[in-house]
Amino acid sequence: MTPIKSPLAPRADATTVLAHTDLHGRTAVVTGAASGLGVETVRALLSAGASVIMPVRDTVRGQQVADELARETGNAAVQVVPMDLSSLASVRQAAAAILAAAPRIHMLINNAGVMATPQGLTADGFETQFGTNHLGHFQLTRLLLPALLAAAPARVVSLSSSAHRLSDIRWDDPNFQTTPYDPWQAYGQSKTANALFAAELNRRYGPQGVTANAVHPGGIMTGLQKHMPEGEAQRRGWIDENGVPNPAFKTPAQGASTSVWAATAPELDGVGGLFLEDLQQSTPLDEANPSPLFGYKAHALDADSARRLWTLSEQMIEQTGQ
């Protein structure tokens, strides 16, 4: 089957992707929208006329961003809600506030994330990256399902990463309790979880009109790299000695484009369970000759793992009493 693609160039920016899309009357929820790709995602959605809710943990910065974007786009339909994804209690409170504000949600873009954090635990005792990037979004999405189903057709976009290649789900020790902590394995696991979650959400709710896809946005220098030790970004070739990003990297506005395409493109109507990057459906990685820039490992969309992760995530959350 021919992979689904946008007619635009792979590096088109998010506002260009939505230049001919009218989102008046449609509501989007975008997590992590006070910085990086989230800002550009909201900018493009507001420019196209959508109403946007921004659940953020820093509400002062979130409100500043919302005010700036409202002014710049001329669309004031943007609202900030406090939410810390590393606390299931906070996620529950945020979901209640969002549902009160928006009985119908047409687009949920699970964009927030942390990368390569020092070893730590969320408020509920989960490894920071798995707990924040995956379990927080898992719970938020489940709590928002009534509004997604009420808006159907609705779409969920789950920000994964090429870093999913670094780790499958560590079924025996997702929280690094019995094995030494590795910040990149932990990030990789969380980004695999983000992709598997989209696959299973789509399997469960696609038939009811709530489709879900995973997105790798590309490499973009943002606040995400703040936990990398000094010099590591240079050693990895992400920036040169003057701090200039590698030309293969995208701008934040380009990095947001596959998210907004996934949330709106007519070519993805009713289509879910895919891994998307560069404004197109990605392809399985050729393990013998892996491209450093494009393609996903089989473990990211494995249907059995996706089911198993859903059950594991439910159990982990149930054990907290949240």
Ligand X SMILES: NC(=O)c1ccc[n+]([C@@H]2O[C@H](COP(=O)([O-])OP(=O)(O)OC[C@H]3O[C@@H](n4cnc5c(N)ncnc54)[C@H](OP(=O)(O)O)[C@@H]3O)[C@@H](O)[C@H]2O)c1
Q: How many CB atoms are closer than 10 A to CB 196?
A: 30
Out of 21, 113, 193, 302, which residue is the one contacting ligand X (CB under 6 A)?
Answer: 113
Interaction of residue 224 with ligand X, rule CB under 6 A:
yes
Interaction of residue 140 with ligand X, rule CB under 6 A:
no
Q: How many CB atoms are closer than 10 A to CB 245?
A: 15
- Dihedral angle computed from the Cα positions of residues 245, 114, 169 and 121, in that order, rounded to the nearest 10 degrees: 150
Interaction of residue 58 with ligand X, rule CB under 6 A:
yes
Out of 86, 192, 202, 313, which residue is the one contacting ligand X (CB under 6 A)?
Answer: 86
Interaction of residue 276 with ligand X, rule CB under 6 A:
no
CA distances from 75 to 23, 51, 60, 263, 280 (A): 11, 8, 20, 19, 29
Angle between helices 137-151 and 88-101 (to 10 degrees): 20
Give the β-pairing of 275-277 and 107-110. unpaired
Residues 163-202 that bind ligand X (CB under 6 A): none
Spatial CA neighbour of 44 closest among 87, 73, 82, 79: 73
Size of the site for ligand X (CB under 6 A): 27
Interaction of residue 223 with ligand X, rule CB under 6 A:
yes
Give the β-pairing of 154-159 and 107-110. parallel
Interaction of residue 81 with ligand X, rule CB under 6 A:
no
Interaction of residue 131 with ligand X, rule CB under 6 A:
no
Interaction of residue 111 with ligand X, rule CB under 6 A:
yes
CA distance 304 to 200: 9
**What's the token pair of residue 192?**
């695999």
Out of 16, 35, 59, 320, which residue is the one contacting ligand X (CB under 6 A)?
Answer: 35
**Residue nearest ligand X, Cβ-based:** 36
Interaction of residue 222 with ligand X, rule CB under 6 A:
yes
Cβ atoms of residues 44 and 75 within 8 Å:
no
Interaction of residue 79 with ligand X, rule CB under 6 A:
no
Query: To which residue do tokens 């969002």 refer?
Result: 98
Q: Tell me whether residue 187 is one of the annotated catalytic residues.
A: yes
Closer Cβ to ligand X, 151 or 160, answer by number:
160
Instruction: Give min distance, CB of 203 to ligand X, in A.
Output: 22
Out of 14, 28, 30, 32, which residue is the one contacting ligand X (CB under 6 A)?
Answer: 32
Interaction of residue 114 with ligand X, rule CB under 6 A:
yes
Query: For 135, which DSSP code?
Result: I
Question: Catalytic residue numbers?
Answer: 187
> Under the rule (CB under 6 A), what is the footprint of ligand X?
32, 34-38, 57-58, 83-86, 111-115, 132, 159, 161, 216-217, 219-220, 222-224
